[in-house]
Amino acid sequence: MAQNTAAERHRHDTREAVLFGGVYGAVLASSIVAALTQYGHSSRGDRRYDALWLLVTALASALAHGYAHYIAERGPHRRWDVLRTLADEWPLVAAVLPTVVVLAGAGWGWWPAKSVEYPAFALNIALLFVLGLLTARWSHRSWGRAVLLGLVDALLGVVVVVANALIK
Please report the DSSP string for the chain in residue order: -HHHHHHHHHHHHHHHHHHHHHHHHHHHHHHHHHHHHTT---SHHHHHHHHHHHHHHHHHHHHHHHHHHHHHT-S---TTHHHHHHHTTHHHHHHHHHHHHHHHHHHTTSS-STTTHHHHHHHHHHHHHHHHHHHHHHTT--HHHHHHHHHHHHHHHHHHHHHHHHH-
Domain residues for the domain of 87 are 2-167
pLDDT, one tens digit per residue, over 76-91 is: 667 677 777 778 889 9
- For the entire predicted model, the pTM comes to 0.83
Total domains present in the chain? 1
pLDDT, one tens digit per residue, over 103-150 is: 999 999 999 988 898 899 999 999 999 999 999 999 999 999 999 999
